[in-house]
Structure 1
Amino acid sequence: MSDQSGEHAHWVNDGRGRRLIFIDGERISWVLYADTKAGIAVVCDDPPTCLDGEHIDFHPVWGEITVVPVEGA
Structure 2
Amino acid sequence: MVDHIHTPNDGRGSRDVFVNGNRIDNVSWADVRAGVVWFAPEPIRATRREDVYCRRLRGHVEVVFHE
Unaligned runs of 5+ in 1: none
Match of 1:58 in 2: 54
Query: After the TM superposition, which residues 1-73 of structure 1 pair with which residues of structure 2 at under 5 Å, given as runs?
Result: 5-52=1-48, 54-71=50-67
Instruction: Please state how far the C-alpha of 1:31 moved relative to its aligned partner.
Output: 0.4
Provide the rounded CA distance (Å) in 2 between the counterparts of 1:35 and 1:51: 24
TM-score, normalised on structure 2?
Answer: 0.90
Root mean square deviation of aligned Cα: 1.2
Instruction: Please state how far the C-alpha of 1:46 moved relative to its aligned partner.
Output: 1.2
Q: Kindly, what percent of the aligned residue pairs are identical?
A: 34
Per-residue CA deviation, residues 19-73 of structure 1 (Å, 9 max, x unaligned), is 10000000000100000000001010112111326211012110000000011xx
